[in-house]
Amino acid sequence: MRPYLEQGIGLAALATLTWFWLGLSESSAALILVSALLLCLILAGLIFLIYRGLKRRAARQSYAWLLGFPLAFFLVKWVPNFSSLWTQAISMAIRFALAYLLFVAALVTLLSLIPAGKPRSSQPVTVPNP
């Protein structure tokens, strides 16, 4: 099955199951148990689809871009509680420099994944003609 079709069908099934799960009334212990089992099934399906999507990519590709963007964001948003202005300024400079390096590394890694395909067959020669 094609990867996009498989992901689309899986996400549609998970959305339908989630819609049904949200509509359940938990009026008895049996329905609470069914609700908990459906939640586990939804989470397992979502984790499976994410795993399949990441596994389908080539093993040589790095997933540093998955962590780089959120970590850079959280480093900028995090403000440690220091007493003096000098230590707060030093902390900000270190955190922003580290966030910048993480963001640039994640962006370069993400952009390196773009040309991973083969050239089109309609382009037999890549040397420019004068």
Digit-by-digit pLDDT tens for the chain (130 residues) are 566 677 777 778 888 888 887 777 778 888 888 888 888 888 888 778 767 766 665 444 556 666 777 888 888 888 888 888 888 889 889 989 988 888 888 777 766 665 545 555 555 566 666 6
Alpha carbon dihedral 103, 109, 114, 117, in 10-degree steps, equals -170
Residue-level pLDDT at 60: 43
Amino acid at 8: G
Residue-level pLDDT at 56: 61
Asked if 49 and 93 count as a contact pair (C-beta separation under 8 A), the reply is: no
Alpha carbon dihedral 118, 121, 122, 128, in 10-degree steps, equals 50
* pTM of this structure: 0.44
CA distances 47 to 21, 51, 111, 129, Å, are 17, 6, 25, 49
